Structure 1
Amino acid sequence: MPPFPRFIAIAATAVAATLIPTTSIAKPPATTPDGLARLPAITPVMTCAAVTGLDLTGATDAPVTITSATVVGTNCEVRGTIAPANTIVARLPVNGWTQRYVQTGCGGLCGNATINYGQAATCPVVADGTVASATTDMGHQGRNDGSWAAGNPQAQIDFAYRGVHVTAQVAKALITAFYGRSPAYSYFTGCSDGGREALMEAQRFPTDFDGIAAGAPANNMAVQNTFHHAWNVLANKDASGNYILLADKLPLVHAAVLRACDGIDGLTDGLIDDPRLCRFDPASLVCADTATCLTPAQASVVRKLHDGAVDARGRRLEPFISHEWGSELEWTLFVPAAQGQVVGSENFALSYLRYLADPNDPNPAYQLTDLRLTVESFWSTVLPSSTYMAAMDPDLGAFRRSNGKLLLWHGWNDQHISPQSTLLYYDAMRRVMGAGAVDRFARLYLFPGMAHCGGGEGPNTFDVLTPVMAWVESGRQPGRIIATRTDRSRPVYPYPAVARYDGSGSIDDAANFVPFTPRNPVRNDDEWIGKRLYSHGYQTSPRAVDGRLVL
């Protein structure tokens, strides 16, 4: 709801209108050109130094300790702890606060409380420093290899969902004390694990935020950080444990993919608007000249890396299309430059398999070769942590009823998390809640050529927060989002619409593109072993009892 002073201003205008001819009144618009509410800036009612003396008892169900409050630039930077070990960092504008709160997520397995706006950094009210913001390390500090979870069930709970929620509670209490009023609007933005955190909030705590931007969400974490990343490594090893495909072949594969599929969207520009339409066959690169071609074994690896993990009978252990065609230059995350290198995917998988897959039985000696690629192994590996770590529930009815708005986004060239994961979640939402209901509160954007949370060959800098704010504050539904990269800009439209060149002007200028919705949109293939993970009612709220996690 609008803050109380706005009603005073409206009432005053109404009184004035009875005394002065209406033609002489210059009534300011209720919203900015961006669709944001015009909220008066509020100054603090206390000094920054005095924040350390605040008693935030009751803000959440755990003790809160404020350790420091210091003016840094134009913000009062506050640091503290929510028991037992959630570090919180907040920034409160000292020269004028426009009554918005933005909480940011973090990536990986977190452990570091750093406010990172990511793709929301270009949002005007973020850029001008008038929003209050906060973040958390999610209940643990130090190494990001999962070892923090061993024998620490509360840290696992805080990382799964509690840390973000209690941070929202405490930050809002802190803001209310500092400015003498609570936020008019609250938002969350995050990518990767931050995207998982975003969806976890919408699912478990639907009234914490009015609007949420969830980028490349790792919502299927228990599968993502086990079979998905493990397959990236295991599918590329021969019987002797040597890598079959090395990174020097990736440009060759990428160039061949572009030759085959760059033009399917009607424009040869180095980008594939919808990689699902690409029918590239790696076997086409096999020839006797190993300097300019692939061996049959290397071509087989390329196919396996694209398709994703399967068991010996071909049953899918992750959704079909693990890495989209066109993303090959990003595969250095799991395809090494030389034998003997340890790739990123191996570290991600081992961190989870050793310390988080089984919450009460860590196994620091676990190796990727210990993971059996079977259906039985899938469920025994994935289920123990999925009920509290995954954010797969497609029923966001409570979030919708609270008037919440959700913007999902993903890069088509994401090398960490497959866009298919987000597509299947969006499909599940529409199946469970109804397409019409979902359209009233959620949108999905897919960015051609963009890698994980940014980077890549396509336009990869854009503002996801302003569209969410405008939808919440003025009802303006999100339309096109302009993405830029050096000298190129492109519009991205709500899925399933794509951008099409209008035939005139530079292909590097977003102004020369229009929306196009395919008459027969691609149907995402959701047939895989874990399909039923996209369901309602599976989530649990475990407790830490005597050093063990009790579900």
Structure 2
Amino acid sequence: MTGLASSTSTGGAASSLWVAKCVHKSYVFPNATLVSVDALPSGSVIQLPYGPDLCANAGVTATATSDLCRVVVNITDTPGSSIRIDAWLPADWNGRFLATGNGGIGGCIDYSGLQTGAQLGFATLGTNAGHDGEVGFDFFLNQPAVINDFGYRAIHVEAEFGKQLIQHFYGRAPATSYYHGCSTGGRQGLQNAQLYPADFDGVLAGAPGIDWLHIVASKGILARRIGWPDLTSSAYVRPEQWRAIVAHQIALFDPLDGLADGIIDDPARFRYDPALAACGGTALNSSLCLEPDQVAAVRAAYEPLTDGSGAIVYPGFSVGADTSVFSANQLNGTARLSYRVLDDFWRGAVYNDSTWDSLNFTVDDMDFAIHLNPGGVGFRETDFSATHARGVKIMSYHGQADQTITPALSAEYFTKVQASTGLDATAMADFYRLFFVPGMGHCSGGIGATDIGQKYPLDPTRVDADNNVLLALVDWVEKGKAPDMIFGARYASGNVLQPILASRKHCPYPQRSKWNGVTNSNLSTSWDCVF
């Protein structure tokens, strides 16, 4: 039986018994409609169901990373809701269940996560969070169930169905259950752990988009602070000026951690004075330097967000990070944010109005959305008492050069969770560990040793708990071995099959990694975890 997507075999054939078990098994579950079933040998090329108009970042194909049975279903357990689940069930199953989340406004199954999970032997599931497409607003218009699916339901449905499917397919329940998602997926994981503590034994939350509405709103607020949408304003700071400003910040602050490597290890330590880049000085040339109103605009851009009452609601943007989420705001000479999540979500889910436009975005629009909190996407709960009591382990990682979600948000949230859950430092370290990764952008990438096994493809020489965050979480849950460090790597050409150019220890917050100042900084042994 085939349906949603097809595959072509480029690997060896799976055993006939395995194929028969996959394709001839009955897949009848409450509120579930079977879309397709395929027995796929390792190496099979899978044509994905998304075109570039729906999921530009998903790619056209994925690779079966083990002999697996792929089962695709639609879950319709609530009126107005249809949640697609894509399950990859490896023949060589390790007894574990892995669920994955989404990015942005959802709508795209995380096939990178499916490939990683199946390669490591997990029965791995992905979900579209209740709609198809990472760009658009129409799927939210007049669709409260779809908004709720994206907000909080889809991951719980994925968890419950995944356990049913695994029991049915393998004849036994998973021994342990895990979740991994980044950005929106990080928010989904933490929110699910707080709402449904029994779903997973371990949650891996990358760059978690908790307080999601403030995160998205910040792009419009910061754009307005720098003179947008009036591109002729004396305060407007052009995109090419921002690139020079960020380079200036790195030149100023990078050497202060003891190593000039192009990376600001801990950007929260620094405040940038844009007067240093003013015209008449030597920092920037005459075509890029800042006029007086631009100096004020840049200064404002790095201030925290405040709501209508003047209360601080979101940390300031990080120095050294790419500013394009708010400074890429022109299209053919007219004002338009390249970051479309703001327009899409406010049109479809906040105002239910297809004519609304972010050109008019104000703090009032932000505050209205926070009050409405459609689908619970503004999740910022910090009391994890029930989650902690059940013995769940939470790991989080966040790039210090994250251009989309300010890393300071993760530090603030970690502290608030500890206070609300009533844990001392020792108990918190046995429950929730946060790793900052210097030089990492949003979820991955960057010039530092930013590969921690969080993204497909994996380096086959680093598939262990020291070098892979998911396997570190597994060791913590199943062996009680809490990760005291994670080793990151930087590869030639950013390719995990190329030589490693640098390695570095990444340490659990509030510790940070520090170069010893003596031995080769490209060696992980040259870095220590310090407070």
CA distance in 1 between counterparts of 2:166 and 2:388 reads: 25
CA distance in 1 between counterparts of 2:198 and 2:253 reads: 44
Q: 1:447 aligns with which of 437, 441, 458?
A: 437
1:80 aligns with 2:79: no
CA distance in 2 between counterparts of 1:178 and 1:117 reads: 21
1:54 aligns with 2:3: no
CA distance in 2 between counterparts of 1:342 and 1:449 reads: 29
Relative distance call for 1:418 and 1:384 in structure 2 (3 A) is: same
Partner in structure 2 of residue 28 of structure 1 = none
| Equivalences for residues 48-127 of structure 1 within 5 A | 48-51=22-25, 53-57=26-30, 63-73=31-41, 74-83=67-76, 84-94=81-91, 96-117=92-113, 121=116, 126=117
The CA RMSD measured in Å over matched residues stands at 2.4
Partner in structure 2 of residue 424 of structure 1 = 412
CA distance in 1 between counterparts of 2:261 and 2:94 reads: 42
Deviation at 1:316, TM superposition (A): 4.8
| Equivalences for residues 242-391 of structure 1 within 5 A | 242=232, 244-288=236-280, 290-310=286-306, 315-316=310-311, 318-321=313-316, 323-327=317-321, 330-336=322-328, 339-340=333-334, 342-345=336-339, 347-358=340-351, 362-373=352-363, 378-385=366-373, 388-391=376-379
Residue deviations 1:16-43 (CA, integer Å, cap 9, x gap): xxxxxxxxxxxxxxxxxxxxxxxxxxx9
Partner in structure 1 of residue 450 of structure 2 = 460
Q: 1:401 aligns with which of 369, 374, 389?
A: 389
* Structure 1 residue identity aligned to 2:249: V
Residue deviations 1:305-339 (CA, integer Å, cap 9, x gap): 222434699x3553231x21111xx2123223864
Partner in structure 2 of residue 532 of structure 1 = none
Residue deviations 1:448-467 (CA, integer Å, cap 9, x gap): 11111112232221022111
- Percent sequence identity over matched residues? 28
Which stretches in structure 1 are left out of the alignment for 5+ residues? 1-42, 58-62, 518-551
* Structure 2 residue identity aligned to 1:483: G
Tell me if structure 2 keeps the 8 A contact 1:412–1:447: yes
Deviation at 1:469, TM superposition (A): 0.6
Relative distance call for 1:515 and 1:292 in structure 2 (3 A) is: same
Find the residue that maps to 2:133 and give its secondary structure: coil
* Structure 2 residue identity aligned to 1:296: P
* Structure 2 residue identity aligned to 1:92: L
Partner in structure 1 of residue 504 of structure 2 = 490
Q: TM-score, normalization: structure 2?
A: 0.80
Find the residue that maps to 2:504 and give its secondary structure: strand
Deviation at 1:143, TM superposition (A): 5.5
Q: Which structure has the larger Rg over C-alpha atoms?
A: 1
Q: 1:211 aligns with which of 183, 202, 205?
A: 202
| Equivalences for residues 513-524 of structure 1 within 5 A | 513-517=527-531
CA distance in 1 between counterparts of 2:344 and 2:375 reads: 19
**Which structure has the higher relative contact order (CA within 8 Å, separation 6+)?**
1
Residue deviations 1:62-107 (CA, integer Å, cap 9, x gap): x11122110122111110110041011000012x111011111111
1:475 aligns with 2:475: no
Tell me if structure 1 keeps the 8 A contact 2:23–2:38: yes
Deviation at 1:501, TM superposition (A): 1.4
Relative distance call for 1:108 and 1:470 in structure 2 (3 A) is: same
Deviation at 1:400, TM superposition (A): 1.2
Tell me if structure 2 keeps the 8 A contact 1:491–1:499: yes
CA distance in 1 between counterparts of 2:23 and 2:301 reads: 54
* Structure 1 residue identity aligned to 2:346: L
Partner in structure 2 of residue 511 of structure 1 = 525
